[in-house]
Amino acid sequence: MDVGAAATAVGLFLVGVIVVIWATERLLEGLVGLGRLLRLAPFAIAAILSGFEAENIAVGVTAAKAGASQIALGTVFGGAIFLVCVALGLGAIIAPLRVQVPPGILFMLALTPLAAGLPLVSATTPRLAGLVLLLASVGSLAYLVLASRGHQFFESKEVSEALREQKSWMSAVGLTLLGIAVIAVGGELVTSGATRIVGTFGVSAAVMGMLVTPAAIELEEVIRQAVPAREGRPDVSAGNLSGTLIYFVLFNFGVITLLAPVPVAPLTRSLDWPFLIGSTWLALIFLARGRVGRPQGFALLGVYAAYWILHLLLRG
């Protein structure tokens, strides 16, 4: 193994992850500023703006255009499974989540992973399916905002501080554009590094795409879940979870499929999609009970461990 090539591959991957996370914070700051200027409700900001994961879609689209289909699909399936198992599970272990989510929103979220199967019906994801997912994402977010009306929602510290800052339109738009531009650069680095790691270390493309890359990019989701719940604002955690799941499965997958259709590996149909459905429904069952405590958190982490084991055994 070429030590220099290995160091370059890992270096590109890690630098890319750091860049996209930093850029996402700038983008989030800009989006929250826009939310303040547009007078969006706090829950809408948590669900729509905090749930928006620009680094995920940047890596997904870049990987799809580069022909790295497993990494592109991993940002959808691997990212969403990481969200409902690790972000929610570990977050609940750190700070048990007690929240009453409207039943209509829970039902809508239960349908979301089923919709992810639409682009999987063909050998290559069809563009029409991508358009359908994009329209579904808009409808889902609109329903989420409408169904949340009349409920008392609290603001996370991050959102509260951002809302108190009187940003100008120029500042809000500037931060948003800066975040998008830098995230695109970071997405290129992550994809390049991940592709080189696959070649240098002999890591399965499925493992790199579905497990390693999504986990590295989405680590901050654990903090976004745990902090609001620990500060007595679990509804913000639930809003972030709901919005992020919709973005990953409907919006991001829709954009990837529409802009750069990718071939579908059999393992995606037989393992990743069923695991997405099962893990999401398990998390929603816990949320429907009004409490995701430490036992439920460990259960979700156990599901994710099983997902890793099966991928390592079946990697292709």
Give residue-wise pLDDT tens across range 206-245. Answer: 566 556 666 666 666 666 667 667 766 677 778 889 999 9
The pLDDT of residue 6: 75
> pTM for the complete prediction?
0.75
Residue type at 305 in one-letter notation: A
**Residues near 75 by beta carbon (within 8 Å), at least 6 away in sequence:** 56, 57, 59, 60, 63, 213, 214, 217, 248, 252, 256
**DSSP conformational letter for 268:** I
Of the ranges 66-70, 93-97, 235-239, 279-283, the best mean pLDDT one: 279-283
- The closest alpha carbon to 140, from 110, 167, 165, belongs to 110
Which uninterrupted H or E stretch holds 291? strand 291-292
Q: Is 290 left (phi over 0), alpha (psi -120 to 50) or beta?
A: left
- The closest alpha carbon to 194, from 3, 2, 8, belongs to 8
Whole-number Å distance between alpha carbons of 37 and 175: 14
- Answer with the residue of higher pLDDT: 303 or 8: 303
